[in-house]
Chains A and B, each alone.
Chain A
Amino acid sequence: RKEVEQDPGPFNVPEGATVAFNCTYSNSASQSFFWYRQDCRKEPKLLMSVYSSGNEDGRFTAQLNRASQYISLLIRDSKLSDSATYLCVVNGAGQGGKLIFGQGTELSVKP
C-alpha cells in the first residue's frame, strides 16, 4: 500500500465549477500536510499547507481529518489556469523534512 494515495483522475470540469480532491495517508504519526501544484513538465510548487482546523486561501480550501487520515482540497470557481496536477504531500518519518508525495490528481478545466 502506498503511503499517500490519491485518485489520479483526470478530472475534467467546466470553468466556474467546484471540484474536490481527496487523499489518504497511512502513517498516523505524520504531522505536516500540504498540497503542491505541478504544471506539465515543470517542478512542483507549494500551493498550501493543511492545518487541523482547516484553512482557506482565496478559492482554495484544505481540510484535514486526522482520525480518518484523510486530506481534501476544494477549488471553487475553477479557472482555466487551475489546470495542473495536484499533489497531496505528508512529512516522512524520521528527522528532517523528507516529503512523501501522492501520485497526483490531474485537473483539466475546460472553457
Chain B
Amino acid sequence: GAGVSQTPSNKVTEKGKYVELRCDPISGHTALYWYRQSLGQGPEFLIYFQGTGAADDSGLPNDRFFAVRPEGSVSTLKIQRTERGDSAVYLCASSLYHYEQYFGPGTRLTVT
C-alpha cells in the first residue's frame, strides 16, 4: 500500500517568506507527527496530532511555526517569516499504534 507522502520534496525560499509543507499519512493512521532533521543530527520532534487536534506541540520552536490537520488526515506545517536557521529536512510520520511510526521521505527546506 501507499506510504507516507510529503510535498514538495524540495523547497527553496528567501528569508522572510512564508512556506507550507504538506504531509499525506498512511490511510487509516490516526496519529501524525512532524519532525525536523538538521545535517548530522537525529530528527527532532515538533508536533503530534491525534485525529484533528494537536495533542502535543511542545517541540515547535517558536510562534512562526504552526501546523493543522483539519480533517484528521492530511496535515500542513506552516512557517512564517522564514529564517536561514529553519533550513532542514522536515519529516512527517504516521502511526496506528503510538511507537510504530512510518516516516515520509521528507521535505528539504532551504532558506536563502
Contacts and interface: CB of A to CB of B under 8 A. Distances in A.
Interface string A2-43: 001000100000000000000000000000101000000011
Q: Choose among A32, A94, A96 the residue with the greatest number of B CB atoms under 10 Å from its CB.
A: A96
A96 B105 CA distance: 22
Contacts of B56: 94-96, 98
A97 B103 contact: no
Contacts of B50: 96
B31 interface: yes
Interface residues of B, number: 26
Interface stretch (A51-59, A60-68, A69-77, A100-108): A100-108
Nearest to B91: A43
A110 interface: no
A43 B5 CA distance: 11
Given A8-B40, A34-B99, A42 B45 contact: no
A46 B101 contact: yes
Contact of A96 (B31, B35, B106): B31
A38 to B, nearest CB: 8
A99 B45 contact: yes
Interface in B28-48: 31, 33, 35, 40-45, 48
B8 interface: no
